[in-house]
């Protein structure tokens, strides 16, 4: 699973409208034999914050629809796309910021992560 937070430091902001977003790209190798190649990779984008920020984030995401999500619901949205009971490899650019953001959002799938790769 590739993950990329934009404005990751805002995830520790305790206000109602911290401006941040996260993009996910999931390559599900568990579906290799059961689906066409073009369906093995899915992309998702979630934005949290002011309406102006979320609208701008949606305009910049070219691979689907951006979902506007409140900060308190962000981790639930992310986790809804992660297959339960599966090992996960996280891939990111300067991934320490993404891991910090996940910690700030109190992620629960941490034990499923078997590796974190930094591009």
Whole-angstrom Cα distance, residue 102 to residue 117?
15
Structural domain harbouring 40: 2-118
Q: What pLDDT was estimated at residue 16? A: 67
Residue 101: closest CA among 2, 12, 3: 12
How does pLDDT run across 38-60, given as a tens digit for each residue? 778 899 999 999 999 999 999 99
Q: What pLDDT was estimated at residue 31? A: 75
Q: Identify whether the C-beta of residue 90 lies closer than 8 Å to the C-beta of residue 111.
A: no
């Amino acid at each position: 699973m590739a993950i990329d937070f934009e404005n990751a430091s805002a995830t520790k902001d305790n206000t109602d409208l911290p401006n941040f977003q996260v993009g996910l790209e999931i390559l599900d190798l568990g579906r290799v034999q059961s689906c066409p190649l073009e369906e093995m990779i899915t992309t998702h984008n979630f934005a949290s914050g002011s309406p102006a920020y979320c609208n701008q984030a949606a305009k910049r995401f070219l691979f689907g629809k951006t979902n506007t999500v409140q900060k308190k619901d962000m981790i639930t949205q992310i986790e809804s796309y992660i297959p339960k009971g599966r090992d996960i490899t996280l891939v990111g650019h300067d991934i320490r910021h993404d891991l910090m953001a996940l910690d700030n959002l109190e992620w629960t799938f941490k034990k499923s992560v078997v590796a974190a790769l930094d591009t």
